[in-house]
Structure 1
Amino acid sequence: MPRELVLGNGQLLINFDGRFNMRDLYFPYLGGPNHIAHLGGEKGRIGFWVNHKFSWLEETGWELDISYKPGTLNGRVEAINRDLQIGLEIENAVHFQLNVYLKRLYVRNLAPNSREIRVFFYHDFTLKESPLGDTGIYLPDSGVLLHYKRGLYFLINGRAGNRGFYQYAVGNKRFRGAEGTWRDAEDGRLEGNPVHHGSVDSTVSFSLELASGEEGIIDYWLVAGTSWEEVRKLNNLVLTKRVSTLLVENEAYWRSWALRHERHFGDLPEKVVELYTQSLLVIRTHSDSQGAILAATDSDILYEARDHYGYCWPRDGAFTALALDQAGYPEVSIPFYYYCAHIVAPQGYFYQKYNADTSLGSTWLLPLQQGRPVLPIQEDETGLVLWALGLAYQRYRDWRLLHDLYPSLVRPVAQFLASYRDPVTRLPLPSYDLWEERHGIFTFTSAAVLAGLLMASKLATAFGRKDEAEKYFRAAREIQQSMVKYLYSPELGRFVRGIYLQKEGGFQADYTLDASLLYLGFLDFWPKEELRVWRTVRAVREGLWVRTQVGGLARYTGDYYFRRSEDIYSVPGNPWLVCTLWLAAWQAKTAKDLEELAEARALLEWAADRTTPGGMLPEQLHPYTGEPLSVSPLTWSHATFVTAVEMYLDRWRSLKPS
């Protein structure tokens, strides 16, 4: 189920699905470990008991509306259960500065008589992704619930008026027939067991006595830390400042952050403007405090695969850092470049993906091809980091950035890119493509390496390394010339996806239409009027558009990933947000007048019309229903939306009548 609320501060991140179940909890790094087990639908949830009837908020009897307060990372939930005659409003957030999750519930009695309403909070934690050694305990001296294991502590507390927990229970889950304390809650009473270890869960409840039409307030909070003393102090701080004050403080901070820069959004409609702001906030929640930018934290992808997207791909990170720089948030983008300096291999390249703590992520890239050892890398990732860094330096002219990162990042990466080339073609040696599916010499990869080397040449010049600048520039020009020679098909009148080395010698061209070819026009080493690029873009636009009522651009012809149709003519692949927004950005960049620019605006509106109810952009869409497929939200989708809007506004300002 797509994540509708993503709440985080760079260390603590919590995701909720469309039924307001807590589905992911990351601390102290984003992406892992996920402290809510995620292989069997585990979740934290809220339940209500009144007049001997019980209902979890996720059940169909509740009408739910989940969103953010506009321009903030304060979540807002409105709900009503007509059978139980309960109305509900919830405001919740992860504090921008404190590792505390805050929740305030307004519970309204809609019945014509006074009643007791009990509210239950269920916690299904699996600390550090293993039940081994977990402990849950109720501490009577402080009236709090604590889950802990090996330097990880989650403290839970709350208030209904001036009263703390009404009841509590700690117990076993999914072990020797024990379902969990959630089952204990459904009769409206908790048995009060104070401690358990191993496969542990817990439930706490609050009681409200409400007259007809009366509203009661419950404050709930979860504190995360690495020691008992840390969470104890944070708990005391919440008690002192109060949840209501902290929520207001958090709302003010994020609204100020999101609206830091005054922008004139031209003729863009409000829904596009709102998604632009939301996208910045979603990107921020996926940016770890140590610099990593996570691809996605929606763990439901594990139902389709045996791994998740909770890693930092240098490519995705580079595109996202670019978007942040375009939008004016260097305090988020610059740490990413420093992070890259920590993870780059001594030889000057990046592996497939990394964890937020800079350790190497998992991989499926083969280290052998045709029986020969190969580097298991996607070389476009290496080139794009230099490209984005170069654009950041051009924007900020921050000498410290160049001073710190030229020796540790720019030089080793540029030396690798310049040397890791085929002696015959002078193109980059074979590597895996950006979709992580095939091994060869690809147009997108070659363009990314070329762009990286051109930026390295400019950075070397700025750093006073003229000889190195000339070396990188020569290598870039050789690649550009070779791209025309080996990767352009005069017969088709466009660039091909790539070429593959053959055992017997020579090359085999891959003529598959691929949306990544759109990026040839973005890397600024060909003029906008270059006909070979224009013809390639036209072929991609015509050949990969999804011919259903959903529309959008597919990744490539015959895309198999989450395939939902065998009608390749109408549906060459599922619509991808990134690919469609690449087309929007290209149309914005090349528009000759406002009429042509309207084509880009239409695609921005297309994306805004296809968010989830909470305003999230997924990776891809079902080609017939438009429902999200794969992970949601995908950081790259939101980053590409920001970039497309920025490029649209740049062009709009240059074309509008004075």
Structure 2
Amino acid sequence: MTRHIAVGNGQLLVNIDSNSYIRDIYYPYVGQYNHVGGQMCRFGIWVDGQFSWLDNPSWRKESRYADSTLVAVTEATHDGLGIRLVIYDGVHQRDPILLRSIEVVNEWNNEREVRLFFHQDLSIGESEVGDTAAFLPENGSLFHYKRNFYFMFNGWGGDSGIAQYSIGIKRFGGAQGTWVDAEDGHLMGNPISQGSVDSTAGLTVLVPGNSTERASYWMAVGRSLQDVKLLDQYVRDNRPEKLLRRVAVYWEGWATKVKRDFGGMSERAIRLFRHSLLTIRTQTDARGAITAANDSDILQYNRDHYSYVWPRDGAMIALAMSDAGYPELVEPFFVFCAEGLSPEGYLHHKYNPDGTVGSSWHPFLADGVPQLPIQIDETGLVLHAFWKLYEKHGDIAFAQSLYKPLVVRAGKFLMNYVDTETGLPSPCYDLWEERHGIYTYSVSAVHAGLTAASNFCRLFGNEERADRFQQAAEDMKASIVKHLWDEEEGRFIRGLYRSGGQWVKDMTLESSIYGIAAFGVLPTTDPRVNSTMNAIAQGLLVRTPVGGIARYYNDYYFQRTGNLHEAPGNPWIICTLWVADWKIESATTLGELQTASQTIEWVADHALRTGMLPEQLDPFSGSPLSVTPLTWSHATYVATCVKYMNKHRELTAAQGANQADQAPLYSKG
């Protein structure tokens, strides 16, 4: 389940696989709707009477992004055909247009006719029912539509546009689709079809021997036929290759707008840092939704996807982007959360990108007892991230606009959602959405949320309410130390769960216990934090050549081995970086900081060639597992790099000051 290429602009997101096949088209929201749904929009060529789709094993392919841009470059070489393709893909930085420019390189001596075939397999509005595909003679395009979704496809090869086309039925009544029609190099030309339909377009270029010719293909998306016709005309007037150069210039400026001292990070790690910023941008909707992932192949496993807004993920991503200097990107997320807050003041399990409540597996009733189907950390972390945004960037007017609708309402809920027996938050689902109880990460997030609410109240002059929130946070800290610290083990525990009418300690070693330090319950220098983190760093270490840190001991999700000493779970990017964060915070010398630097380099080593980071890795092969890219993985990498850069600057300054203090007052001479 891997999307090697993701290109987008906050309203249109297109995912492309390693074969240069379009696999997902999301519009008008990032993550909603998916008008392809993981099907393959194929790309192939015909030359000298031979045909080949790009997923044929005879092609050697390598993809990457142009440095610090959202323009992807794929080189595909077929020695048997004597053809090399250099494919540039990007989405216009402003308009919903996918641009593709192809350099067709003839590696033989004789002139050759090369036909390029582009297949469109759409399920508009996430259903194949009632789609229409048609040829429009006035501009030589193919367009698909249903209701108020329109997709127009066009191209240019040599001195002309689409040279041939076919429209027909797919995956119904024995029909595979029009892509089969392309395999003899000729398309039938049917001008319209309805229902479960697809289309294929053909371009022709004549390429002299040992020479290169260019072809172009583009897709315009809109709400009406007039919308997409205007966008199509814009592309034809400006040419896709010129527009792609503008796209590259724009995103390079965006990714490098903050001047940084990277503290000795490798060029590879720096490239991944900038690419992570850009990847997060592709997964963030202009209206505030920050989606977890948009790799639709996960549908194979559980018939649902990651194209949702988990407030937890969104909060941590927003915090990372704020720290990296991009507050304008994430401010709409907090508006999104304020609008999605329940009447009681909590955030739901997850949301669709349009702000409606998403699907859930958390029940309202368990063992005959009603319960809230929530994860309390999600509400707490949104307040925590919102305060950190204000603290760093100081936009008091924006903070004021959400003070009552978000801060006060959510703060009141956190303060009152307390288990009277323990003084900790009432039981809910943990951050991994797997178990119900009281968990250290969640409790730490609530403490951070209450502290943030208190800080906002004090900022706006409500001292009485600020004191109440602060007292609630202090009471919760005392309960954390009382109930979640285990003296015998010498570390904090994962949490508590109810069994036989009693609270039982969950002693499973769990990486997210790092929340104790990450969310300010205790400082990193506290010996209890250090003993806990040492236990995590040793007990969850993956002892294979791949390395990394597991999510928790005996993690079952995509589990690859029962040898828990070798691999207590699969290495997760996020969890490995949490240990690095602890090492950064704990470092007192530049030498100590190097261990964290090694983890940053480890992540860069395990990114795809295109710079994409998965949720987790196979502990033996190092290949991606689960969805790729995972937005939270990229955000955690960004956050860790920023922490590293800040600490490196601090320690370098301290070292310089120390050397100055030790210098002699007078020198001979």
Do the two structures share a fold, i.e. TM-score over 0.5? yes
Mapping for residues 222-301 of structure 1, pairs under 5 Å = 222-301=219-298
Shift of 1:211: 1.7
Q: Is 2:190 the counterpart of 1:169?
A: no
The one-letter code sitting in structure 1 at the alignment partner of 2:515 is Y
Pairing partner for 2:398 from 387, 398, 401:
401
The one-letter code sitting in structure 2 at the alignment partner of 1:72 is T
- TM-score where L is the length of structure 1: 0.98
The one-letter code sitting in structure 1 at the alignment partner of 2:35 is H
Pairing partner for 1:345 from 342, 345, 349:
342
* SS state at 2:31 partner: coil
Q: Is 2:66 the counterpart of 1:48?
A: no
- Which shows bigger deviation, 368-377 or 633-642? 368-377
Pairing partner for 2:206 from 187, 205, 209:
209
Partner of 1:24: 24
- TM-score where L is the length of structure 2: 0.97
* SS state at 1:90 partner: strand
Partner of 2:36: 36
Contact persistence 1:31–1:356 (CA under 8 A): yes
Distance 2:301 2:498 in 1: 32
* SS state at 1:28 partner: strand
Shift of 1:501: 2.5
Contact persistence 2:571–2:618 (CA under 8 A): yes
> Could you give the per-residue CA deviations for residues 611-649 of structure 1, whole angstroms, max 9, x where no partner exists?
112111100000111010000010000000000001111
The one-letter code sitting in structure 2 at the alignment partner of 1:171 is G
- Which shows bigger deviation, 384-393 or 523-532? 523-532
Partner of 2:134: 137
Shift of 1:503: 4.3
Q: Is 2:609 the counterpart of 1:613?
A: yes
Distance 2:543 2:163 in 1: 57
The one-letter code sitting in structure 2 at the alignment partner of 1:653 is R
Contact persistence 1:402–1:463 (CA under 8 A): no
Q: Is 2:571 the counterpart of 1:548?
A: no
Partner of 1:499: 496
Partner of 1:220: 217
Partner of 1:369: 366
Distance 1:125 1:397 in 2: 45
Shift of 1:595: 1.4
Pairing partner for 2:583 from 574, 584, 587:
587
Distance 1:143 1:491 in 2: 75
Mapping for residues 149-548 of structure 1, pairs under 5 Å = 149-504=146-501, 506-548=502-544
> Could you give the per-residue CA deviations for residues 453-480 of structure 1, whole angstroms, max 9, x where no partner exists?
0111001100111111011001001100
Distance 2:154 2:189 in 1: 16
* SS state at 2:302 partner: coil
- Which shows bigger deviation, 240-249 or 643-652? 240-249
The one-letter code sitting in structure 1 at the alignment partner of 2:286 is S
Distance 2:21 2:99 in 1: 15
Contact persistence 2:158–2:206 (CA under 8 A): no
Distance 1:583 1:59 in 2: 42
Aligned length: 654
Distance 2:37 2:594 in 1: 46
> Could you give the per-residue CA deviations for residues 78-110 of structure 1, whole angstroms, max 9, x where no partner exists?
111111111111111001101100011110112
* SS state at 2:28 partner: coil
Distance 1:291 1:352 in 2: 17
Distance 2:552 2:339 in 1: 34
Contact persistence 2:293–2:629 (CA under 8 A): yes
Distance 2:37 2:530 in 1: 48
Contact persistence 2:364–2:373 (CA under 8 A): yes
Contact persistence 2:107–2:210 (CA under 8 A): yes
Partner of 1:598: 594
* SS state at 1:426 partner: coil
* SS state at 1:410 partner: helix
* SS state at 2:559 partner: coil
C-alpha RMSD over aligned residues: 0.9
Pairing partner for 1:83 from 80, 84, 98:
80
Tell me the percent identity.
Answer: 45
Distance 1:503 1:376 in 2: 22
> Could you give the per-residue CA deviations for residues 383-425 of structure 1, whole angstroms, max 9, x where no partner exists?
0000000011111111212211001000000000000001121
Distance 2:523 2:48 in 1: 72
The one-letter code sitting in structure 2 at the alignment partner of 1:490 is E
Shift of 1:486: 0.8
The one-letter code sitting in structure 2 at the alignment partner of 1:62 is W
Shift of 1:290: 0.6
Partner of 1:636: 632
Query: Which aligned segments of 4 or more residues in structure 1 are displaced greater than 2 angstroms?
Result: 501-504
Unaligned runs of 5+ in 1: none
Distance 1:25 1:220 in 2: 16
Shift of 1:369: 2.3
Contact persistence 1:519–1:582 (CA under 8 A): no
Partner of 2:665: none
The one-letter code sitting in structure 2 at the alignment partner of 1:172 is I
The one-letter code sitting in structure 2 at the alignment partner of 1:55 is S
The one-letter code sitting in structure 2 at the alignment partner of 1:608 is A
Shift of 1:142: 2.1
Distance 1:402 1:165 in 2: 52
Distance 1:568 1:526 in 2: 30
Partner of 2:651: 655
Shift of 1:593: 0.9
